[in-house]
Chains A and B, each alone.
Chain A
Amino acid sequence: MSIFTPTNQIRLTNVAVVRARRAGKRFEIACYRNKVMGWRSGSEKDIEEVLQTHTVFVNVSKGQVAKKEDLVKAFGTDDQTEICKTILSKGELQVSDKERHTQLEQMFRDIATIVAEKCVNPETKRPYTVILIERAMKDIHYSVKPSKSTKQQALEVIRQLKENMKIERAHMRLRLVLPQKEGKKLKEKLKPLIKVVESEDFHDQFEIVCLIDPGCFREIDELIRCETKGKGTLEVVSLKDVEEGDEKFE
């Protein structure tokens, strides 16, 4: 057994610890910061770049190495590198600064992209660019929540942005065909859900082409289906009512 002296100790710096509990014991490995996520996603393929040492510890900061029998008991092998790989892929990890930063940034961008895709400037019926949305999000000090999905957050952002700038979800254009009987009754119920009625037609059937907020789609769909017992129909003419093509100022 070697004597613990300053000359024969190896000091690890910049450690990111990955932990795993197996067979009632805690195992830890010492990794480099900002590397574990890369390994998990597959962008880093060199294990030497991820692991500081191939040893499996019980406690990294104290330098306590895991006992061989414990390893065999927990992992069924004593190949340290293999165990390291399992811990890397299954253990719980500390997210390092840069990893967190890139993750948040990526989510922020993603949210902005979703918002830009879904919304238009109501005055011009043209979409806003992602960069502009990003800036607007920074202006309202929107903070990304890593636990919520980006789509959910995007809907939240749209609501908040509406207070500061002219932004609206791109309308959906629907064509509703209702039987004459229920038409009148249903129209009153639909009214609050419809933004703009583009055309109405009372012939043998009651036909409406209208713009709605995409959020109301389900409601309208349900309403029509329930009220008309499946006789009324609803058709999406366009998902997004936006201007197409380039416009040149003249």
Chain B
Amino acid sequence: MVLASVGKTVQLQKKTENIRNICILAHVDHGKTTLADCLISSNGIISSRLAGKLRYLDSRADEQIRGITMKSSAISLHFEKGDQEYLINLIDSPGHVDFSSEVSTAVRLCDGCIIVVDAVEGVCPQTQAVLRQAWLENIRPVLVINKIDRLIVELKFSPQEAYSHLKNILEQVNAVTGALFTSKVLEERAEKETGTQIISDSVPGDQVYDWSAGLEDTDDSHLYFSPDQGNVVFASAIDGWGFGIEPFAKLYSQKIGIKPAVLLKTLWGDYYLNTKAKKIMKGDQSKGKKPLFVQLVLDNIWSLYEAVMKRDKDKIDKIITSLELKIGAREARHVDPRVHLNAICSQWLPISEAVLSMVCNKLPSPLDITAERVEKLMSVGARTFDSLPPETQDLKNAFMKCSSEETAPVIVFVSKMFAVDSKALPHNKPRPLTQEEIAQRRELARQRHAEKLAAIQSQELPEKALCGNAPETTGKTGETKGDEQQLTSQIEVMTLKTVKQEADNKESFIAFARVFSGVVRKGQKIFVLGPKYDPSESLHKLPLGCSAEADLPSVPYMACCILENLYLLMGRELKDLEEVPSGNVLGIGGLHEFVLKSATLSTSPACPPFTPLNFEATPIVRVAIEPKHPSEMPQLVRGMKLLNQADPCVQVLIQETGEHVLVTAGEVHLQRCLDDLKERFAKIQISVSEPIIPFRETITRPPKVDMVNEEIGKQQKVAVIHQTKEDQNKIPEGVQVDSDGLITISTPNKYATLSVRAMPLPEEATRLLEENSDLIRTMDQFNASLNEDKKTHEINQKTLDKIQEFKQKMEQNLQGRKWRNAVDQIWSFGPRKCGPNILLHRFEGYKKSVWQCLDKTTKEVSKYRDFDNSIVSGFQLATLSGPMCEEPLMGVCFIVEKWDISKVEEIMSTKRQQSEECDATEWKQDEDEATCLSRSHITECSSEDKEFKGSSQGSPKSSEKSSKRKGEALLADCYGPFSGQLIATMKEACRYALQAKPQRLMAAMYTCEIMATAEVLGRVYAVLSKREGRVLQEEMKEGTDVFIIKAVLPVAESFGFADEIRKRTSGLASPQLVFSHWEIIPSDPFWVPTTEEEYLHFGEKADSENQARKYMNAVRKRKGLYVDEKIVEHAEKQRTLSRNK
């Protein structure tokens, strides 16, 4: 055991062929961090006695508490094997599925990985996932079967049983690898086939189909794990032992006298030792013999465990002497036999030796990077390597060489940014103060104190003169003088604290990176290439052979920066480095302004950005977060930005509603993010809630059948029984409702009458409107400018064509008798003038349409012109919040069928004559109106807002406004300005028109893609149907047993969905959610049973859950609207408050 110094490490870093970059991957709780502990203890960084208990690399408090790793962290180890010295950059990764993004960041930086499998649990979902990840990144795996002690102590297996169990596990692991291999081969073949098909089409005749699928031709033997290949270690990290079969083969070859090479091949497998013949024979099971592995290896371990556990002193001594070990008396006497066992085993079969030598032998050094991997790393997205510019292709050689020469271009990949407390940085570390410094500080503090006292006293003097509370303060100062010594020391502490706090508040970001080529130096200038950077674009912009030092034109996604600090990552500690040669893992400080999550650093602008990391899990758990104290909003926003940078797999966004939404990979991940926010990044109290779920309101055609599939109207309504379907939206007097839903309503002053009808839009038309909202908006702006007769916005031909196309499509979608001429009659879109609802005008004498911009006509003068804006505004307001739960409308068409303002005209004309007669009266009129307005402003304070909305929206946009103004002024009466009345009336009319039709709620839907294995398919379906989801399709992925299920799921039901599906399927299914569309919820939120059949089927209260009503009431409750719910269900079951008599 050697305590490797930094100097030594730096030396080793230069020998690229002796570097191994590895990571430890496994399912959660299979012993990654414990194994890492054992390996670290071999370097003397932690005590071997604590190995496995300390979990050195789990440096976060919550990691230690929960007992799971949450981030990948690196450490550099030093290992001596024979005459060679190796530097091992070990990265420990989390196993929990929520943190699989951390695994991705770790795998990218490595050349090899150790897959750890629990000997009891075998292959688990995450084991498959990490094997797949390793496979996708083209890194070589080795296997450690861990926790063999559990087979002995917990399961009490005999060696024979343990052997068959281990064999099983090995087969499982190999089966997964095999599946990965076949799927890859099939994919390649499919690609080839599409290529050849084109050729074969042109050459008919030769139609022999090749059934071999190419599997036979491809050799896959090197992929599999097998002890005789030396890529498997059996271990128990907690007890500190582990072995490959090599040392045993060597040992026994001497004892039995069989060649080590033969023994190496036969030690694992169906071989047994024929002791008489001293020969190894095949077929142990058929002959009922013990396999070699059991006889020579497992039996020994079992007997050792038995002896120690039973405290068989003689036997232990015998074993110890025969193994030539030295066990300390303390361990031997320890109460817990495991300690004793650990002491023996870790000397006999040290795990670090076994694992690290396997790593050094079997895993490649950075020099052995395969061409395949390099090409994969360099070709982003769909681009093939060949299509990259030649300069870039040249860089491949630099990759392959991995040389640390001065001339080699520097290429570094940053896979993640992690936050570190500033005080943990080596240059900020508090070092012990020297005696002089302490004295100096004390002197300073004393001076400061004296000054302060003087200041206080000088202040006090006038105070004394003024008020009588002086004695108190002087008493205090006297006191302080008394123990000045104490105070100075206090001040000293305080000043120290403030300095410290300043450092505390800063989180430094360190880039977790690896050098792929060249030498990185402190203070070097380097290009930072973002993930979207394209070398072929920038290369011709930049002068040839330029370097980062020169002044360069700005190129998109490229920045220049100086590497401020380089660190050697030693778990939770960081060591300063001056330079890092190729092939090493390192930390880089000072990049936080340039790198968001990952980036490529290079001295050559030809370097392409590396392919984005493959994330197994995408973030799907959405929550809304808010500060506990509303004034702390800025801290929260800042904290969320930092969190976003620090975590590779988190999404942070602000929604239009003002909500701050955090999207994480799972519940555990969420918890960690929240802890981070609370304690590190934002340092405020936050509250977490379900995000607000949006809905839309719409109407449908009246249904033809009722809830029990009987035709409506055929059977008697049994109103007698209990209840009729009451008109839940009581329409007040003064509103006429026709049987077909035409609403006629007058303004409060009875001057104008409106008739409005609502109709559902066809689905396609709604979709078309939604897709073209931007186009509609530009159209509206253009129309407005046309009406103003000035500064005509120049609209280009392209947009005009688009509008024309949009119009045609609308015409296609709106066909049938009901929609005749509808497109030409479109008056406005809403809400916000670009929404998916339309307003039609179907009355005589009105010509204006939204298609003005197409024929470029200016507005015609008509009698309605003065007030048409009020009608449009009323429509906008009505579509912005519907009657059901004040959510926006969607897919509704309002038709104004009559608009009678003849009375207004009469009055206006007469009044205008009057006003023309004497100009002076106009003044008075205006004044009158002003007073009227101000009065209403004061008295109707409550309705102030509505009113101002009204008048504001109503303020006309026409250029000749003065006449209108006059008109309006003339029309003003006790009900307020006429335009305002018109808006309110129009809004009411729209609402009633809606209520006259069957209303429905629309829910936002996610499309959900789930990968699941065949055995959990049923459970996935159960979870989906419980949450009102619908399966669209189900497909099997070729070459694997994985099914891909596509489903839709209401957003309202998605909270906790990911967690539930994972729990129910033991993690074998992983969903992804993407917002897709709006869908009408078929049930009527106001439905009550009305017919005999319905009554029989659903009962009086219709207790069975009505999904739409549930959603509607939830929204109404949230908004503080009236909810039609009983406060107390059963009157008799309330608590009795009076005395019992």
Contact = CB atoms under 8 A, between A and B. Distances in A.
Interface of A: 11, 13-14, 32-35, 37-38, 41-45, 49-50, 98-99, 102, 105-113, 116, 118, 120-121, 123-124, 126-133, 135-136, 139, 149-152, 164-167, 172, 214, 217-218, 221-222, 225-226, 229-231, 233-236, 239, 243-250
A123 B640 contact: no
A160 B930 CA distance: 30
Contacts of B952: 172, 217, 236, 239
Given A129-B658, A151-B945, A249-B653, A41 B1119 contact: no
B434 to A, nearest CB: 45
B798 interface: no
A127 to B, nearest CB: 4
A34 B1124 contact: no
A49 B1127 contact: no
Interface string B629-670: 111011001001100100000011111111100000000000
Contact of B926 (A45, A221, A226): A226
Contacts of A135: 626, 628, 630, 687
Nearest to B930: A222
Contact of B653 (A38, A165, A243, A248): A248
B792 interface: no
Interface stretch (B133-141, B169-177, B933-941): B933-941
Given A98-B1127, A222-B934, A129 B1120 contact: no
Nearest to B730: A42
Nearest to A96: B1127
A98 B1128 contact: yes
B651 A136 contact: no
A128 B658 contact: yes
A139 B1124 CA distance: 30
Contacts of A45: 723
B1136 A14 contact: yes
B166 to A, nearest CB: 48
A152 B941 contact: yes
B974 interface: no
Contacts of A247: 653-654
Contact of A49 (B624, B641, B955, B1131): B1131
B209 interface: no
A243 B243 CA distance: 63
A214 B657 contact: no
A184 B692 CA distance: 48
A136 B630 contact: yes
Interface in B119-155: none
B962 A127 contact: no
B1120 A229 contact: no
Interface residues of B, number: 72
Q: Which 10 A-B pairs have the closest CB atoms?
A: A109-B1120, A110-B1120, A32-B1131, A127-B658, A149-B942, A136-B630, A230-B965, A233-B961, A165-B630, A34-B1128
Nearest to B1117: A109
Contacts of B723: 45
B629 A230 contact: no
Interface in B676-697: 687, 689, 692
Contact of A151 (B692, B927, B943): B943
A132 B659 CA distance: 9
Interface string B935-968: 0010001111100110111010100011001100
A166 B635 CA distance: 13
Contacts of A118: 945
Contacts of B658: 116, 120-121, 126-129
Given A13-B1138, A34-B1134, A226-B926, A113 B955 contact: no
A34 B1127 contact: yes
A167 B631 CA distance: 9
B692 A110 contact: no
A121 B658 CA distance: 9
B969 interface: yes
Interface string B779-823: 000000000000000000000000000000000000000000000
B926 A249 contact: no
A37 B659 contact: no
Contacts of B213: none
A124 B636 CA distance: 13
B657 A127 contact: yes
Grouping DSSP codes into helix (H, G, I), strand (E, B) and loop, the A interface class, with mixed when no group exceeds half, is mixed
Interface string B1100-1141: 000000000000000001111110111110111010111001
B1124 A42 contact: yes
Contacts of A50: 1131
A113 B1120 contact: yes
B965 A225 contact: yes
9 contacts: A35-B1131, A109-B1118, A120-B658, A131-B624, A165-B630, A165-B631, A218-B934, A231-B962, A239-B949
B726 interface: yes
B992 to A, nearest CB: 18
B596 interface: yes
A111 B1120 contact: yes
Nearest to A231: B962
B933 A222 contact: yes
Contact of A246 (B596, B654, B941, B969): B654
B1051 to A, nearest CB: 14
Given A246-B656, A249-B653, 4 more contacts: A124-B654, A165-B630, A165-B631, A248-B651
A35 B1128 contact: yes
A164 B1127 contact: no
Contacts of A99: 1127
A41 B1121 CA distance: 13
B462 to A, nearest CB: 33
Given A126-B654, A127-B658, A236-B953, A132 B962 contact: no
Contacts of A44: 1126
A110 B1121 CA distance: 7
A130 B944 CA distance: 22
A129 B624 contact: yes
B199 to A, nearest CB: 45
A245 B630 contact: no
Contact of B630 (A139, A152, A243): A139
Contacts of B659: 129
A239 to B, nearest CB: 7
Contacts of B654: 124, 126, 246-247, 249
A43 B948 contact: no
Nearest to B661: A246
Contacts of B689: 131
Nearest to B948: A217
A231 B627 CA distance: 49
Given A42-B1124, A246-B654, A235 B957 contact: yes
A214 B952 CA distance: 10
A118 B948 CA distance: 13
A244 B1134 contact: no
A46 B941 CA distance: 39
Contacts of A243: 656
A204 to B, nearest CB: 10
Contacts of B1128: 32-35, 38, 98
B630 A164 contact: yes
Nearest to B954: A236
A32 B640 contact: no
A102 B1127 CA distance: 8
